[in-house]
Amino acid sequence: MTIALTGATGFVGQTLLDEALRRGVKVRALTRREQPSRKGVTWVKGDLANRKALKALVKGVEAVVHVAGVVNAPDVTGFETGNVAGTLSIVEAAVAAGVPRFLHVSSLAAREPHLSVYGASKRRAEKIVSASGLDWTIVRPPAVYGPRDTEMLDLFRAAKWGVVPMPPPGRTSVIHVLDLARLLMALLPGGEDVTHEIFEPDDGANDGWSHHDLAHAIGWAVGRRPWVPHLSRATLNRISRIEGLLRRSKAKLTADRVGYMSHPDWVVSRHRVVPAGRWVPRVSTREGLKATADWYRREGWL
């Protein structure tokens, strides 16, 4: 089997690439930059705006797995280009090539598109996929963590100093990146139980994690019992403005992020659970966080 993969050089994409190769699945992967040669991988130079590259990417493959996306951008245009126009381009290429199967990695933020530009762009991308006529499945991961992740790294670093600032009280679901990669591989064959479905996977924790408990789990992973202050939305907005002035386009805590970070309910829906015969999570979050902290240390990130 050969699959086409976008986002192969990113956090989730790298783990999925490793898992596919481990299972003997060949991968044709889109990349902007030259990559080291790797057995089982055909690198296709280009991006989601390059129609010629996309045509080469999807030619003759059994499935497309669209992981690439923009999680942070300084303006609306960045999200529209990366998440909406990019998805349209890869969908059009897949339709033209007659690809039998299309997996789209969205985000739980798409469930509440009114909260952020990011979530709205992911929701529009989902609509493009669902209207494509392809044999599609959409996956909305919650917060994804694990080796190579830079998004939750700051929380681990803060925990090392004994404090983990969190958004206003609420609950969230999480998933280890390896469990997410395993899920995507499990969905590749398609079938009546998964075709034209939207799934919201997680670690299996009933009702997710409170922000407070998740912060303490991260603290435990680095060997500390941290203080966990909950920052109000007003405080987050003030910090966002300051960071925007100092870091400009490189700011991570943007006003858009404050919008969905302040939402109290990012727990996956039990109405969108993956059929147990296909996949169940294997990574315990406490142990997964500990292993992630250990990886950060080995790599000199923590």
Instruction: Using CB atoms within 10 Å of the CB of residue 250, give its burial: 0 to 12 exposed, 13 to 18 middle, 19+ buried.
Output: exposed
pLDDT at 74: 85
Contact 4, 99 (CB under 8 A): yes
Question: How many CB atoms sit inside 10 A of residue 14's CB?
Answer: 18
pLDDT at 249: 79
Residues of the chain with pLDDT under 50: none
Contact 197, 132 (CB under 8 A): no
**What three-state secondary structure class fits 144?**
strand
Domains of the chain and any CATH numbers: 2-226+250-298 (3.40.50.720)
Alpha-carbon distance of 10 to 210, in angstroms, equals 28
Predicted TM-score (pTM) of this structure: 0.96
Question: How many CB atoms sit inside 10 A of residue 245's CB?
Answer: 9
**What three-state secondary structure class fits 40?**
coil
pLDDT at 199: 98
Contact 290, 220 (CB under 8 A): yes
Query: Which residue, 40, 33, 46, 34, is CA-closest to 19?
Result: 40
Mean pLDDT of all residues belonging to the chain: 96
Query: Which residue, 172, 143, 151, is CA-closest to 264?
Result: 172
Contact 175, 134 (CB under 8 A): no
pLDDT at 250: 80
Contact 53, 28 (CB under 8 A): no
